[in-house]
Structure formats: structure tokens, C-alpha cells
Structure 1
Amino acid sequence: MTAASQSSPDEDRAWATIHTTLRPEELSDLSRDVEVLFRLNPYYYFNVWRQTGPDTFHVEFENKSNQLRQSLDLHVAHEDGRGLTVAYSGGIKKYTAFTIEPATGGSRLTVTDDYNLLPVAEREQRQAEVDKSLKAWAESLRLYFVRLKRWSWLPGWRWYMRRVWIPMKPSARRIVWFIYLITVAEFFFFLFVLLIYLIEQNN
């Protein structure tokens, strides 16, 4: 994963790029659900996500990376096979773009936050509102795509991820994942104890 930012009087944006083994068309299909993309940000705690039109949404959430509570209207523009762009009704961001490109062995996704909405002087005064979650967001997206590709063969896996796991708050997802790890560890410990018991019985 790579991350960068660029700031000048004429251009103020930050971006992070992830690489996946998915084909561009596969990544494009998985990226069409904008709610999934946003809920995967580990710093966004949503109270409201409501669709208000074919490509418009109203959201209310707290961004833990800058301790900012926001109420925004989003407008999504899909770009055939190349990703999508989400424009904001308020705040200091102009848009967030998810850009898909072919890459060796798969594809890459670049997430770009553009801050060229307000005059330069006002942007300087509102530096505390800059979203600091971009790098973690991109990494969370990468892990999500890896898990989908690895486990989608399991019946019900996609349904569980979309309908149960994704709507959870990020902290709840971490707790559930920790419980899964404990359960797996306990299962293998049980098998180990059972193996020892069987060996002793045979002796």
C-alpha cells in the first residue's frame, strides 16, 4: 500500500493506493456498494446511513480520527469499470474518489480525498477537520477484498459479511474477530487434548 498527499494553493488532496489480486472488473463489481466502502473505514462510527435517492445518501457519523461529528448528504457518480466518486454537501472535503486501474497480477484501487471545496484561507483555519483516517481506511479495504476472495466459496459468507459484519460498528467487528480467534484456538486445543487421550488409550 502507498499513501501520499499534495498541498498547494491550487491543489489540496491526499490519497492512498492498495494492490489486489482481483481483476479490475471484479474489483469494480465489489466497489459499487458505496455503503460498504464507507463502513469499512475503521474510524467512522455511523449513527445514520439512509438512501435518499438512486445515487444519494444521508449519513451521520463520528470520525474518531479527528473527533468530528458530521451530518452529510452524499452524491455518488459511478464511472463504468473505473470506480466511483462521492461528492459531499458539507464539511471541508469536496469529494472522495475510488479509482480502479489494471495492475500486474490484478488491479489497484486509489482512494483520494479532495479538499478543494473551500478558499485556501478557510482551509487553513479548519486544519483540525482534516480526515486522518485515509491510510487505515485503505488498509481496511485491502483486507476486506482479500477475505472476500479467500472465503467467498463458503456458502453464506457474502451474505454474512454484507448483512451482519459490515453494519457493525468498527469496535464491534474487532471484538467479534477476537472471539473468532479464541474459538478457533479452543477448537485446536480440544483436538490436541483428544489426540493425547487417544494415544494414551492405545498404549
Structure 2
Amino acid sequence: MRTKSTYSLEGTGLSCIRDDRVLFEELAFELVSGQILLLEGKNGSGKTSLLRILCGFREPDSGQINWCGDHVKDSQFHAQMAYVGHLDGIKKELTVLENLRMSVALSNSGRYSIHEALSKVHLQGYDDILVQALSAGQKRRLSLARLLITENVLWILDEPFTSLDKQGIALIETLMTEHCANGGMIVLTSHHDIDLPDVDVLSIHLS
């Protein structure tokens, strides 16, 4: 379990070019424990590209990303980061329980046990159900349950509210608030207006 220390994520002079088109340039931000960074903008503005850069899936065309004062390549950044993208990232041929056991095996244990996490995301009793039998919303909640059972300071979430109803949206907002209250931080994109009165939410608008 991590201690409630202060972590920081800083981007300076970031730019991204795709198909000879500049998506963004000279982008800068700083995020610390307990905060959320919301990326806003129309489709194609570079939100997902920025998330991919933060995750290390591609390099920025210029600029640098630091984790706790050190370049991400010289830090524990990738061991302390978790990403949930448009795809749920779960194995449909495995059961709910098998998916979560696999996640635990690949990372350090988090604040919640598997059964506690399933209860948190309202999937208790689904342990032995094949993922392919779940609804789209249930699959989304399962993908987010992985965040609760692994020890990651930074959550990077690409449209986390996709396929969720009002109850599911409220649930994820509660989980994000709890994560920040326990010293975590989040970078996300969302077309949904998030309602987190107890969290310091910063925003960047990409045009």
C-alpha cells in the first residue's frame, strides 16, 4: 500500500503532429496528488493523442514529461500509472474473477481485495460469469474495478463514462473522489460534465 505522499506530473512544451497536422503545441500543465486534469475539446483535437503520450505509447514531437521531478523514463512513472482506454482491456473468454486475478498478478495489490472491488462496482455475484456474457456497462465497470485492486497513483482514463447509465456515472465519480482523497491523481477525457465538488479539477481545452 502506498503512503499518502505528494506526487507530481508535469508536462512542458509538449507538441503533437499527426498526418502533417499540428494537434497541439507548447502545451504545459502541472498536476499534484489529489487533483484531476480534465482534457476537453472536439473530436480530433488531440485529447486521446495526449493520453497516449502520457502513457508512453508514443513520443511527443517536442517537450518533456516529468514524474516527481524526474523525466518519466528515469522514474517509477509507468509502475505507478494505470490506463483505461476506449476499449475495456479485459479478456472476454475469461470470467470476471479470472480477469481480476490476472490484473493482480501483474501489479501490486491495491486498497481493495477483488471481492471488495466487485462490490464497489456493483458486480458482486458475477465472479464466475464469462465477460462475454456481460452488458457493455458491466464490462466498463469491470475494467474500472481493475483500478481498485492494483496500486497505481495516477489513473489515465479515456472517456471512462462510456456505456454507463446515470447510476454507473455516479459510481465512477464516487470512486474518482475517493482515489483523489487518498492521494491519487487522475487525467481523463470526457464528453460528460463531471460533478466532483470535493476535488480540485483542472482543465485544458484542446482546439
Q: Place the TM-score, normalised by the shorter chain, in its bin.
A: under 0.3
Q: Per residue, is there more strand in 1 or in 2? A: 1
TM (norm. structure 2) is 0.27
- The answer to which structure, 1 or 2, has the higher relative contact order (CA under 8 A, 6+ apart) is 2
